[in-house]
Protein backbone atom coordinates (compact mmCIF):
# COMPACT_ATOMS: atom_id res chain seq x y z
CA UNK A 1 0.00 0.00 0.00
CA UNK A 2 1.33 3.37 -0.92
CA UNK A 3 0.16 6.86 -1.80
CA UNK A 4 2.93 7.42 -4.37
CA UNK A 5 2.84 6.31 -7.99
CA UNK A 6 4.90 3.28 -9.11
CA UNK A 7 7.06 2.38 -12.11
CA UNK A 8 5.61 -0.88 -13.45
CA UNK A 9 8.57 -1.42 -15.79
CA UNK A 10 11.11 -1.07 -13.00
CA UNK A 11 9.12 -3.44 -10.75
CA UNK A 12 8.91 -6.03 -13.54
CA UNK A 13 12.62 -5.76 -14.34
CA UNK A 14 13.48 -6.18 -10.67
CA UNK A 15 11.41 -9.39 -10.50
CA UNK A 16 13.01 -10.76 -13.66
CA UNK A 17 16.55 -10.03 -12.50
CA UNK A 18 16.12 -11.46 -9.02
CA UNK A 19 16.05 -15.09 -10.15
CA UNK A 20 17.72 -16.72 -13.18
CA UNK A 21 14.93 -19.36 -13.28
CA UNK A 22 12.43 -16.71 -14.41
CA UNK A 23 11.30 -17.51 -17.94
CA UNK A 24 8.01 -15.63 -17.93
CA UNK A 25 6.76 -12.44 -16.42
CA UNK A 26 3.10 -11.38 -16.53
CA UNK A 27 1.99 -8.03 -15.18
CA UNK A 28 -1.25 -6.11 -14.88
CA UNK A 29 -1.74 -2.39 -14.21
CA UNK A 30 -5.17 -1.01 -13.24
CA UNK A 31 -5.88 2.65 -14.03
CA UNK A 32 -8.50 5.22 -13.05
CA UNK A 33 -11.09 5.62 -15.85
CA UNK A 34 -12.67 8.99 -16.60
CA UNK A 35 -16.13 7.43 -17.01
CA UNK A 36 -17.95 4.97 -14.74
CA UNK A 37 -21.61 3.91 -14.74
CA UNK A 38 -22.48 6.74 -17.13
CA UNK A 39 -20.94 9.57 -15.11
CA UNK A 40 -17.79 11.60 -15.75
CA UNK A 41 -15.25 10.88 -13.02
CA UNK A 42 -13.06 13.82 -11.98
CA UNK A 43 -11.12 11.67 -9.52
CA UNK A 44 -11.45 9.17 -6.75
CA UNK A 45 -10.43 8.59 -3.18
CA UNK A 46 -9.29 5.10 -2.16
CA UNK A 47 -9.91 4.09 1.44
CA UNK A 48 -8.58 0.88 2.98
CA UNK A 49 -8.44 -1.04 6.25
CA UNK A 50 -4.81 -0.76 7.41
CA UNK A 51 -3.57 -4.08 8.72
CA UNK A 52 -6.25 -6.21 7.13
CA UNK A 53 -5.29 -5.00 3.65
CA UNK A 54 -1.75 -6.35 3.98
CA UNK A 55 -3.02 -9.59 5.51
CA UNK A 56 -5.64 -10.12 2.77
CA UNK A 57 -3.18 -9.49 -0.06
CA UNK A 58 -0.59 -11.82 1.52
CA UNK A 59 -3.27 -14.53 1.76
CA UNK A 60 -4.19 -14.11 -1.91
CA UNK A 61 -0.53 -14.38 -2.92
CA UNK A 62 -0.11 -17.51 -0.76
CA UNK A 63 -3.10 -19.08 -2.46
CA UNK A 64 -1.69 -18.27 -5.91
CA UNK A 65 1.62 -19.89 -4.89
CA UNK A 66 -0.23 -23.06 -3.87
CA UNK A 67 -2.00 -23.26 -7.23
CA UNK A 68 0.79 -22.31 -9.62
CA UNK A 69 4.55 -22.36 -9.96
CA UNK A 70 5.21 -18.76 -8.85
CA UNK A 71 8.87 -17.81 -8.40
CA UNK A 72 8.23 -14.28 -7.23
CA UNK A 73 5.48 -11.73 -7.20
CA UNK A 74 4.94 -8.00 -6.58
CA UNK A 75 1.61 -6.40 -5.67
CA UNK A 76 1.32 -2.62 -5.22
CA UNK A 77 -2.00 -0.92 -4.46
CA UNK A 78 -2.29 2.83 -4.11
CA UNK A 79 -4.54 4.61 -1.61
CA UNK A 80 -5.60 8.23 -1.24
CA UNK A 81 -6.60 10.72 -3.93
CA UNK A 82 -6.26 9.65 -7.58
CA UNK A 83 -7.18 11.21 -10.92
CA UNK A 84 -8.23 9.72 -14.28
CA UNK A 85 -5.26 8.09 -15.98
CA UNK A 86 -3.48 7.46 -12.66
CA UNK A 87 -2.23 3.96 -11.93
CA UNK A 88 -4.09 2.25 -9.06
CA UNK A 89 -2.75 -1.27 -8.85
CA UNK A 90 0.13 -3.42 -10.08
CA UNK A 91 0.30 -7.20 -10.03
CA UNK A 92 3.48 -8.73 -11.48
CA UNK A 93 4.19 -12.46 -11.39
CA UNK A 94 7.45 -14.18 -12.34
CA UNK A 95 7.42 -17.85 -13.21
CA UNK A 96 9.39 -20.38 -15.21
CA UNK A 97 6.67 -20.60 -17.87
CA UNK A 98 3.99 -18.29 -19.26
CA UNK A 99 0.96 -20.43 -18.35
CA UNK A 100 1.61 -20.13 -14.62
CA UNK A 101 2.54 -16.44 -14.86
CA UNK A 102 -0.63 -15.47 -16.80
CA UNK A 103 -2.98 -17.53 -14.63
CA UNK A 104 -1.48 -16.47 -11.28
CA UNK A 105 -1.54 -12.80 -12.31
CA UNK A 106 -5.22 -12.92 -13.28
CA UNK A 107 -6.12 -14.96 -10.19
CA UNK A 108 -4.41 -12.50 -7.83
CA UNK A 109 -6.20 -9.58 -9.49
CA UNK A 110 -9.62 -11.29 -9.34
CA UNK A 111 -9.20 -12.26 -5.69
CA UNK A 112 -7.81 -8.87 -4.74
CA UNK A 113 -10.91 -7.19 -6.17
CA UNK A 114 -13.26 -9.27 -4.03
CA UNK A 115 -11.22 -9.93 -0.86
CA UNK A 116 -8.90 -7.01 -0.15
CA UNK A 117 -10.55 -4.24 1.91
CA UNK A 118 -10.37 -1.24 -0.43
CA UNK A 119 -13.23 1.11 -1.26
CA UNK A 120 -13.42 3.72 -4.02
CA UNK A 121 -15.30 6.98 -3.73
CA UNK A 122 -15.72 8.83 -7.04
CA UNK A 123 -16.05 12.54 -7.59
CA UNK A 124 -18.62 13.18 -10.35
CA UNK A 125 -20.47 16.34 -11.52
CA UNK A 126 -23.45 15.19 -9.41
CA UNK A 127 -21.28 14.91 -6.29
CA UNK A 128 -19.18 12.23 -4.61
CA UNK A 129 -20.46 8.64 -4.57
CA UNK A 130 -19.20 5.30 -3.28
CA UNK A 131 -18.53 2.83 -6.08
CA UNK A 132 -20.85 -0.20 -5.90
CA UNK A 133 -19.36 -3.68 -5.95
CA UNK A 134 -19.96 -5.49 -9.25
CA UNK A 135 -21.50 -8.93 -9.58
CA UNK A 136 -19.13 -9.50 -12.52
CA UNK A 137 -16.15 -9.21 -10.12
CA UNK A 138 -17.67 -11.87 -7.83
CA UNK A 139 -18.21 -14.13 -10.86
CA UNK A 140 -14.63 -13.55 -12.05
CA UNK A 141 -13.30 -14.66 -8.64
CA UNK A 142 -15.74 -17.59 -8.36
CA UNK A 143 -14.73 -19.11 -11.69
CA UNK A 144 -11.33 -20.12 -10.22
CA UNK A 145 -13.13 -22.45 -7.83
CA UNK A 146 -15.34 -23.76 -10.64
CA UNK A 147 -12.16 -24.49 -12.63
CA UNK A 148 -10.78 -26.45 -9.65
CA UNK A 149 -13.94 -28.52 -9.41
CA UNK A 150 -13.76 -29.37 -13.11
CA UNK A 151 -10.15 -30.42 -12.72
CA UNK A 152 -10.96 -32.54 -9.66
CA UNK A 153 -13.97 -34.16 -11.33
CA UNK B 1 -16.84 -8.85 27.30
CA UNK B 2 -15.38 -5.93 25.39
CA UNK B 3 -14.60 -5.83 21.66
CA UNK B 4 -13.20 -3.17 19.34
CA UNK B 5 -15.54 -2.36 16.45
CA UNK B 6 -14.48 -0.56 13.25
CA UNK B 7 -16.54 0.84 10.37
CA UNK B 8 -15.29 1.66 6.88
CA UNK B 9 -16.29 3.54 3.73
CA UNK B 10 -20.02 4.27 3.26
CA UNK B 11 -20.83 2.58 6.56
CA UNK B 12 -18.38 4.84 8.42
CA UNK B 13 -20.01 7.90 6.82
CA UNK B 14 -23.57 6.74 7.51
CA UNK B 15 -22.81 6.04 11.16
CA UNK B 16 -20.65 9.13 11.62
CA UNK B 17 -17.89 7.15 13.36
CA UNK B 18 -14.86 5.07 12.45
CA UNK B 19 -15.32 2.79 15.43
CA UNK B 20 -15.56 2.33 19.18
CA UNK B 21 -15.00 -0.07 22.06
CA UNK B 22 -18.20 -1.91 22.90
CA UNK B 23 -19.26 -3.88 25.97
CA UNK B 24 -21.30 -6.76 24.59
CA UNK B 25 -24.60 -7.53 26.27
CA UNK B 26 -24.93 -10.92 27.95
CA UNK B 27 -25.75 -13.62 25.44
CA UNK B 28 -24.24 -11.81 22.46
CA UNK B 29 -21.70 -14.37 21.26
CA UNK B 30 -21.38 -13.94 17.49
CA UNK B 31 -20.85 -11.20 14.91
CA UNK B 32 -24.52 -11.49 13.96
CA UNK B 33 -25.45 -10.80 17.61
CA UNK B 34 -23.16 -7.76 17.67
CA UNK B 35 -24.65 -6.45 14.43
CA UNK B 36 -28.20 -6.84 15.78
CA UNK B 37 -27.16 -5.16 19.03
CA UNK B 38 -25.82 -2.14 17.09
CA UNK B 39 -28.87 -2.00 14.78
CA UNK B 40 -31.12 -1.75 17.86
CA UNK B 41 -29.64 1.69 18.52
CA UNK B 42 -32.09 2.86 15.84
CA UNK B 43 -31.74 5.73 13.36
CA UNK B 44 -28.74 5.45 11.04
CA UNK B 45 -27.62 2.30 12.89
CA UNK B 46 -30.86 0.52 12.11
CA UNK B 47 -30.76 1.72 8.47
CA UNK B 48 -27.13 0.78 7.84
CA UNK B 49 -27.01 -2.55 9.70
CA UNK B 50 -30.54 -3.89 9.25
CA UNK B 51 -30.88 -7.53 8.20
CA UNK B 52 -30.84 -7.78 4.44
CA UNK B 53 -28.34 -4.93 4.01
CA UNK B 54 -25.22 -6.15 2.25
CA UNK B 55 -22.64 -5.77 5.02
CA UNK B 56 -19.31 -7.63 5.06
CA UNK B 57 -17.66 -8.55 8.33
CA UNK B 58 -14.10 -9.14 9.45
CA UNK B 59 -12.90 -10.69 12.69
CA UNK B 60 -9.32 -9.88 13.68
CA UNK B 61 -8.72 -8.76 10.09
CA UNK B 62 -10.01 -11.91 8.37
CA UNK B 63 -13.25 -11.90 6.38
CA UNK B 64 -15.75 -14.13 8.22
CA UNK B 65 -19.40 -15.17 8.22
CA UNK B 66 -21.93 -13.65 10.61
CA UNK B 67 -21.97 -16.88 12.63
CA UNK B 68 -18.32 -16.43 13.71
CA UNK B 69 -17.97 -16.46 17.53
CA UNK B 70 -16.61 -13.47 19.45
CA UNK B 71 -14.05 -13.36 22.26
CA UNK B 72 -13.05 -10.52 24.52
CA UNK B 73 -10.48 -8.19 22.94
CA UNK B 74 -11.46 -9.14 19.37
CA UNK B 75 -11.26 -6.57 16.57
CA UNK B 76 -14.44 -6.60 14.53
CA UNK B 77 -15.05 -4.59 11.35
CA UNK B 78 -18.21 -3.91 9.39
CA UNK B 79 -17.99 -2.58 5.83
CA UNK B 80 -19.68 -2.63 2.41
CA UNK B 81 -18.54 -5.07 -0.32
CA UNK B 82 -15.01 -4.11 -1.38
CA UNK B 83 -14.27 -2.16 -4.57
CA UNK B 84 -10.47 -2.03 -4.92
CA UNK B 85 -8.24 -2.92 -7.83
SS3 A120: strand
pLDDT in the model for residue A124: 93
pLDDT in the model for residue B51: 87
pLDDT in the model for residue A65: 97
Pick the residue from chain B with its C-alpha nearest to A109: B85
In tens digits, what is the pLDDT along chain A, a chain of 153 residues? Answer: 899 999 999 999 999 999 999 999 999 999 999 998 888 999 999 999 999 999 999 999 999 999 999 999 999 999 999 999 999 999 999 999 999 999 999 999 999 999 999 999 999 999 999 999 999 999 999 999 887 766 664
pLDDT in the model for residue A152: 60
Cα gap B52→B50, rounded to integer Å:
6
pLDDT in the model for residue A150: 66
For B4-14, how does the pLDDT look when each residue is reduced to its tens digit (9 = 90+)?
999 999 999 99
Query: A22 to chain B, minimum CA–CA distance in Å?
Result: 26
For B26-65, how does the pLDDT look when each residue is reduced to its tens digit (9 = 90+)?
889 999 999 999 999 999 999 999 988 899 999 999 999 9
Q: Which one of A36, A52, A56, A132 would you mutate to disrupt binding with B, by most B Cβ within 10 Å of its Cβ?
A: A52
A56/B9 Cβ within 8 A: no
pLDDT in the model for residue A15: 95
Neighbouring residues of B15: CB distance < 8 A, sequence distance ≥ 6: B7, B44, B45, B48
Q: Using an 8 Å Cβ cutoff, are A44 and A82 in contact? A: yes
Question: Beta-carbon neighbour count of residue A17 at 10 Å?
Answer: 10
pLDDT in the model for residue B69: 97
Work out the average pLDDT over B59-83: 97
pTM, rounded to two decimals: 0.93
Amino acid sequence: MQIEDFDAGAEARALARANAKVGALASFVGLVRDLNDGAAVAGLALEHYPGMTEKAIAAVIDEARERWDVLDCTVIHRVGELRPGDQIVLVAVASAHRGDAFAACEFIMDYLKTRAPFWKKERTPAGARWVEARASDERAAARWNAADRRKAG
Amino acid sequence: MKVKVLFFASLREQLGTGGEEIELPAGAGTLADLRAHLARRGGAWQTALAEGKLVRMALNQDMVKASAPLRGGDEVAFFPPVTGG
